[in-house]
Structure 1
Amino acid sequence: MTRTELQTLPERAVELLGGEPDDTTLRRYLHGLAGVDAVGLGQRAADLGTRSIKTTSKAWALDRIIELIDLTTLEGADTPGKVRSLVAKALNPDASDPTCPRVAAVCVYGDMVPHAVAALGAAHGDPDDGGVSVAAVATAFPSGRASLAIKLADTAEAVAAGADEIDMVIDRGAFLAGRYGQVFDQIAQVKQACRRADGSYASLKVILETGELTTYDNVKRASWLAILAGGDFIKTSTGKVQPAATLPVTLLMLEVVRDWHAATGEKIGVKPAGGIRTSKDAIKYLVTVAETVGEEWLQPHLFRFGASSLLNDVLLQRQKLRTGHYTGADYVTID
């Protein structure tokens, strides 16, 4: 079961919270969650990084990483030409090998969405069905410092231009100040702004910016808050703040998703973003997903890598494997 019936979300949140999602109710719920054992989390992440993915192969792992990448350009100097080049790379990552899969999505600023949609042409579509999605960062990315009206307009404009996915940022200042109701309300309203003319919704990824949340307990609370408010994905980082994605933080977010699924039957996605540059590291994330929530999460509508440079290393390792110039020392062991 995936999150498809938006109109049920407020009722679901009220039911789980035991009251309206205001500061008091949310504080009681979020601070009632079990605290995170930081040492234990680090040990689990380290252990998972050395495990193998059962019944799979190195070649499968590399192809699956490619299929889960949001190929990203988020620079002030982005141009339509740069976006067209990004789309060309997304559609044909390795010109020397026609068997190389496509990435899941291209991720751009909202004003670049029309150029990405046009460049994709007929290939614009659901990555679970072989297409490539367009993801747009919104809500005053990366700072989140704008009025709600501007955030909603930013989101609605990107969706109207053809964005399939919206990557929003939470107001970290409000969250850290304990204004949980404000953060909840903004996420819920941004989700409403993801509504298309035909009544369907663009997928909403909620960026927590975990590097600014300072503690694992805050990451856990923000993850639960984002899901309660209607997020389809929880995402670690903008990639503009260090530390960005880390294996322990991603493991913690996967555990929240696992617990949510156990409680509700709904499957929520996870997207680590920023700092994942090598195949070796990406495979550790695949292992962590498989061992925490199950291999069924290793598909584009439930897991993504936010990356700009990871693809190049995966292609290099894939070519080494294909041509016989591969050394197993570069990889986590995969059975």
Structure 2
Amino acid sequence: METQSLERTAHLPQVTEPRNPGMELDLDWVRAVQANTSAIERRAATLPGRRSVKKDHQAAWLLKAITLIDLTTLSGDDTVGRVRRLCAKARQPVAPALLEALGMGPITTGAVCVYHDMIETAVEALKGTGIPVAAVSTGFPAGLSPFHLRVAEIGESVAAGAEEIDIVISRRHVLTGDWQALYDEMKAFRAACGHAHVKAILATGELGSLRNVARASLVCMMAGADFIKTSTGKESVNATLPVSLVMIRAIREYYDRTGYRVGYKPAGGISKAKDALVYLALIKDELGDRWLQPDLFRFGASSLLGDIERQLEHHVTGAYSAGYRHPMG
């Protein structure tokens, strides 16, 4: 009974939410999903001008955005020192004096995301903070390594202390319409994650159409994904507003039908504070306030934090600071 309870309930530090258990693959539902590209693009084009928050309200939204960031380093030249500095930034993302001027207590980012080799370093650096470590897995970013190795990699990362696993799907399953294969793959990845949350990276820039994005989102949720995520950050096209609109409406439809909330993570290309505000407004409009919590929404970004800090300092002092005054570590 204890094992079943752990499987059914997410135990991330921020909020406890009944975990998406998945369901049987419903191909009739999947094939019925369509995407009106021109209408989606028109709606997305209006988003930056539809919501505008200023002054104290803007500062509050930007502070909220910081708590939703997966502070990330995924470079071939990552070192122990770099990861430790990134973790220090996650623990204290904004200067205490600036938070005091804003009337805020301490805040942290939503998580720190690293490659498998850096999990142990990140776990140690974040010990006692409640900040989860996320690890990219399954042959990130292409997802083309042998299947049994991809599954084994998940197990190794969970054993090393990762509380969240960002997996990459096989894009060919989507491009060929092999929804059963995508479902089976995602289900195996979810099982390998055990208690750890699993984020399914769709690599939407490589899926060919918004209809494919919608269908892939639905299939991954049916297979038990806790989050669906736009991109690895390594594709030529990463998070966009049209793709986000499609994915969060798939999340809404899944919730309406099943009663289970699935999280959303736009990743790659979100580097400006004003962009973060647009995404937060979109989530609030389409999904509601409950999704504006770290267990259901994340930004996959690092440079975003630096720009948010600059905007907050401008709000307090009336002057913009140089970017180098807000390093990631």
Q: Deviations over 1:291-320 (max 9, x none)?
A: 001122110011100002110000000111
Question: What CA distance in whole angstroms lies between the structure 1 residues aligned with 2:163 and 2:247?
Answer: 23
Which residues in structure 2 correspond to 1:277-288 (within 5 Å)? 277-288=271-282
Conserved? CA contact 2:267–2:300, under 8 Å: yes
Which residues in structure 2 correspond to 1:1-335 (within 5 Å)? 2-4=17-19, 6=21, 9=22, 12-13=23-24, 17=26, 26=27, 28-33=28-33, 35-52=34-51, 57-95=57-95, 96-98=97-99, 99=105, 101-123=107-129, 125=130, 132-195=131-194, 201-325=195-319
Residue type of the partner of 1:145?
A: L
Q: Which runs of 5+ in 2 are unaligned?
A: 1-15, 100-104, 321-329
Conserved? CA contact 1:184–1:225, under 8 Å: yes
C-alpha spacing 1:107/1:78, structure 2 compared with 1 (3 Å): same
Residue type of the partner of 1:112?
A: M
Conserved? CA contact 1:238–1:273, under 8 Å: yes
How far the C-alpha of 1:178 sits from its partner, in A, is 2.2
Conserved? CA contact 2:20–2:262, under 8 Å: no
C-alpha spacing 1:237/1:134, structure 2 compared with 1 (3 Å): same
Residue type of the partner of 1:89?
A: K
Conserved? CA contact 1:208–1:223, under 8 Å: yes
Question: What CA distance in whole angstroms lies between the structure 2 residues aligned with 1:5 and 1:41?
Answer: 27
How far the C-alpha of 1:100 sits from its partner, in A, is 5.5
C-alpha spacing 1:5/1:242, structure 2 compared with 1 (3 Å): closer
TM-score (ref. length: structure 2): 0.86
Conserved? CA contact 1:70–1:105, under 8 Å: yes
Q: Secondary structure at the match of 2:313?
A: helix
Q: Secondary structure at the match of 2:49?
A: coil
TM-score (ref. length: structure 1): 0.85
Conserved? CA contact 1:93–1:100, under 8 Å: no
C-alpha spacing 1:270/1:251, structure 2 compared with 1 (3 Å): same
Q: Which runs of 5+ in 1 are unaligned?
A: 18-25, 126-131, 196-200, 327-335
Residue type of the partner of 1:299?
A: Q
Conserved? CA contact 2:273–2:308, under 8 Å: yes
Question: What CA distance in whole angstroms lies between the structure 2 residues aligned with 1:5 and 1:297?
Answer: 14
**Percent identity, aligned pairs only?**
44
Which residue of the partner structure matches residue 22 of structure 1? none
Q: Deviations over 1:185-244 (max 9, x none)?
A: 11111111111xxxxx11110000000001000000110011011100000000000210
Question: What CA distance in whole angstroms lies between the structure 1 residues aligned with 2:51 and 2:20?
Answer: 36
Question: What CA distance in whole angstroms lies between the structure 2 residues aligned with 1:244 and 1:3?
Answer: 29
Residue type of the partner of 1:117?
A: V
Question: What CA distance in whole angstroms lies between the structure 2 residues aligned with 1:259 and 1:29?
Answer: 11
Q: Deviations over 1:78-119 (max 9, x none)?
A: 111111011011111223435462110000001111100001
Question: What CA distance in whole angstroms lies between the structure 2 residues aligned with 1:289 and 1:53?
Answer: 15
How far the C-alpha of 1:47 sits from its partner, in A, is 2.2
Q: Secondary structure at the match of 2:50?
A: coil
How far the C-alpha of 1:258 sits from its partner, in A, is 0.8
